[in-house]
Amino acid sequence: MYGQEKKKSSPICPRTGKILKSPVKNRWARWLFPVTGLIATIWFLIRVIPKPSRAEYPCQRVAFPLASSFIAYIVGIFATAFAFRKARQRLSQSRYVLAAVCILVSIASAWFTISINSRKAKAYSFTPPDPPNSPMGVAKGIHPGRVVWVHDPNATNWNGSDYYYWDDAHTNQAVVDSMMSTALHWLTGEPNDEAAWDALFRYFNQTHGRGNVGYQSGEKIVIKPNHVEQRMHPDLDNNVDVAPQVELSLLKQLVYKAGVDQNCITLCDPTRFIADKTYDKCNDVFPDVVYAETKFYNLGNYPGHCRASHGRSL
Arithmetic mean of pLDDT, 223-252: 89
Q: Give the model's confidence band at 310: pLDDT under 50 very low, under 70 low, under 90 confident, else very high.
A: very low
How many angstroms separate the CA atoms of 244 and 223, rounded?
Answer: 13
Per DSSP, the three-state class of 111 is helix
- Range in 82-86, 159-163, 174-178 the model is least confident about: 82-86
Asked if residue 259 lies in contact with residue 214, where contact means CB atoms within 8 angstroms, the answer is: no
Question: What is the pLDDT, as a whole number, of residue 18?
Answer: 62
Question: What is the pLDDT, as a whole number, of residue 253?
Answer: 97
Phi–psi pair at 41, nearest 5 degrees: -65, -45
Question: What is the pLDDT, as a whole number, of residue 309?
Answer: 36
- Residue 264 pLDDT > 90: yes
Q: At what angle do helices 173-188 and 193-207 cross, to 10 degrees?
A: 50
* The pairing of beta strand 290-292 with beta strand 265-268: parallel
Question: What is the pLDDT, as a whole number, of residue 262?
Answer: 95
- Range in 32-46, 246-260, 269-283 the model is least confident about: 32-46
How many angstroms separate the CA atoms of 267 and 17, rounded?
Answer: 74
The residue type of 313 is: S
Asked if residue 63 lies in contact with residue 40, where contact means CB atoms within 8 angstroms, the answer is: yes
How many angstroms separate the CA atoms of 181 and 192, rounded?
Answer: 8
Question: What is the pLDDT, as a whole number, of residue 217?
Answer: 92
- Give the alpha-carbon dihedral of 61, 64, 66, 70, to 10 degrees: 180
- Residue 179 pLDDT > 70: yes
Question: What is the pLDDT, as a whole number, of residue 224?
Answer: 92
Query: Is the alpha carbon torsion for 41, 47, 49, 51 positive or negative?
Result: negative
Arithmetic mean of pLDDT, 66-80: 77
Task: Give the C-alpha distances (Å, rounded to integers) separating 40 from 34, 112, 185.
Answer: 10, 21, 45
Question: What is the pLDDT, as a whole number, of residue 255?
Answer: 97
- Residue 16 pLDDT > 70: no
Provide the whole-model pTM. Answer: 0.59
DSSP3 helix / strand / coil % (the chain, rounded to 5): 50, 5, 45
The domain locations on the chain are 26-118, 164-292
- Residue 51 pLDDT > 60: yes
